[in-house]
């Protein structure tokens, strides 16, 4: 396995969010477990239960728990689309549970496939904004491009033990202070990453935002 690099990580992160799942129908089990909870509360719930409940996916309706393999330099930006609350695991752990990278499939290729049910969990159509006018005219499909998320998926609920957690991301020191004592003790305080610290570093030394 390759060493950590600025563009590559051995770790995967699942960020919680306050919004409803994209596929927020009654048949989505993630709807009921997240109802009425903000992103912080959802993280606490995941840790209390030691389980991330799989959510229905758009386009295929299959269920999965989703992660990003973005390196830290991109996670601050990634968190803006979700929240500053996340939980991280190693790639070997996630792969061992049946997880793997998502497949971004061109829409014109997608239409020619009959995906096996299991494969449907991992596929997402890819139809970027830079497609040609001819491609737009031939296939009437909205822009879909999630390649920036560098996504991995687990095709079922993810059950874990505290010693399998690699890191926890929280927003600020206040979150760390109010975080349940039993969880801090069980997970280990050294595994907590405070997003606000790294956001401030990027403001003072914007090495990842040159020219912006």
Question: Residue 210's pLDDT is what?
Answer: 45
CB contact at 8 A, 37 and 117? no
pLDDT attached to residue 3: 65
Distance from the first to the final alpha carbon of the chain: 34
Average pLDDT value over all residues in the chain: 89
Please report the pLDDT score of residue 2 as a whole number: 58
Task: Please tell me the predicted confidence (pLDDT) of residue 36.
Answer: 77
- Cβ(110)–Cβ(103) below 8 Å: no
b/e sequence 103-141, b meaning 16+ C-beta within 10 Å: bbbebeebeeeeeeeeebbbbbbbbeeebeeeeeeeeee
pLDDT value at position 200? Answer: 87
- pLDDT interval class at 24 (50, 70, 90): low
Q: Is residue 183 helix, strand or coil? A: helix
Mean pLDDT of the 51-58 span: 92
Higher pLDDT, 57 or 160: 160
Residue pLDDT, tens place only, 29-50 = 767 777 778 999 999 999 999 9
Percent of the chain with pLDDT over 70: 91
Strands (E), the chain: 11-15, 51-52, 55-56, 63-68, 86-90, 100-101, 103-106, 123-126, 151-154, 158-159, 167-170, 192-194
Six-digit token pair at 121? 């969990």
What is the reported pLDDT for 206? 78
- pLDDT digit string (tens) for 62-115? 999 999 998 877 888 888 889 999 999 999 999 999 999 999 999 999 989 888
């Amino acid at each position: 396995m390759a060493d950590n690099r600025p563009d590559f990580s051995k770790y995967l992160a699942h960020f919680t969010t306050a919004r409803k799942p994209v596929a927020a129908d009654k048949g989505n089990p993630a709807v009921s477990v997240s109802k009425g909870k903000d992103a912080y509360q959802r993280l606490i719930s995941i840790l209390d239960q030691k389980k991330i409940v799989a959510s229905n996916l758009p386009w295929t309706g299959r269920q999965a728990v989703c992660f990003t393999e973005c390196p830290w330099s991109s996670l601050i930006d990634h968190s803006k689309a979700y929240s500053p609350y996340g939980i991280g695991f190693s790639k070997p752990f996630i792969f061992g549970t049946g997880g793997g990278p998502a497949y971004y499939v061109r829409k014109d290729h997608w239409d020619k496939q009959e995906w096996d049910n299991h494969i449907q969990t991992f596929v997402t159509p890819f139809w970027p904004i830079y497609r040609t006018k001819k491609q737009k005219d031939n296939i009437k499909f909205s822009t879909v491009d999630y390649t920036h998320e560098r996504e991995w998926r687990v095709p079922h609920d993810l059950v874990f033990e505290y010693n399998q957690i690699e890191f926890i991301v929280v927003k600020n020191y206040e979150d760390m202070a109010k975080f349940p004592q039993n969880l801090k003790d069980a997970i280990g305080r050294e595994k907590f990453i405070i997003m606000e610290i790294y956001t401030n570093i990027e403001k003072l030394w914007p090495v990842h935002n040159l020219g912006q």
